[in-house]
Amino acid sequence: MKLVTLKPRLGTIGTSRVQTLQSVRPGIVERKRGSAGVKERESIKRRDCGVCQSCGRLGRVVDHIVPLWAGGSDDESNKQLLCDSCHDAKTKREATQRAGGGQKSTAFLLGHRAPSHADKKSHISN
Ligand SMILES: [Zn+2]
């Protein structure tokens, strides 16, 4: 059959030259692109009242609280509105962290939005 002779050729093309995010960093979520992303940015701006969640000035940038490269999710709960200067500062901080070994030390990024254990306990008591 002629089809059989085609198979080895297809095999050589493979995906080895096309490095997807999944193959480079398994488990890392790719950020949303296109219209879905725009819609979500708008909803986060509304949620955060158009205000920078760090300094309270006018927010313009939707930021990943825990960056995707550090294992953060692409969910709205992992996003916040920041102004340009706070976003720049955070990006620089993260670049330093990433260069210095990444995933182990992302706790500093979680900030005030991290769910506290105290909250959970108050539900259980009584
Ligand atoms: Zn700010």
Q: Where are the domains of the chain?
A: 26-101
Look up the pTM and report it: 0.56
CA distance linking residue 89 with residue 94, whole number of Å:
9
**What is the whole-number distance in angstroms between the Cα of residue 51 and the centre of ligand 1?**
8
With contact defined as beta carbons under 8 Å apart, do 81 and 44 qualify? Answer: yes
Among 30, 82, 93, 78, smallest CA distance to 56 is for 82
Per-residue model confidence as pLDDT tens digits over 91-119 = 999 999 888 864 554 555 555 444 545 55
**What is the whole-number distance in angstroms between the Cα of residue 63 and the centre of ligand 1?**
11
Per-residue model confidence as pLDDT tens digits over 61-82 = 999 999 999 999 999 999 999 9
Fold of 26-101: His-Me finger endonuclease fold (3.40.1800)
Q: What residues have their beta carbon closer than 5 A to ion ligand 1?
A: 52, 54-55, 83, 86
**What is the whole-number distance in angstroms between the Cα of residue 86 and the centre of ligand 1?**
4
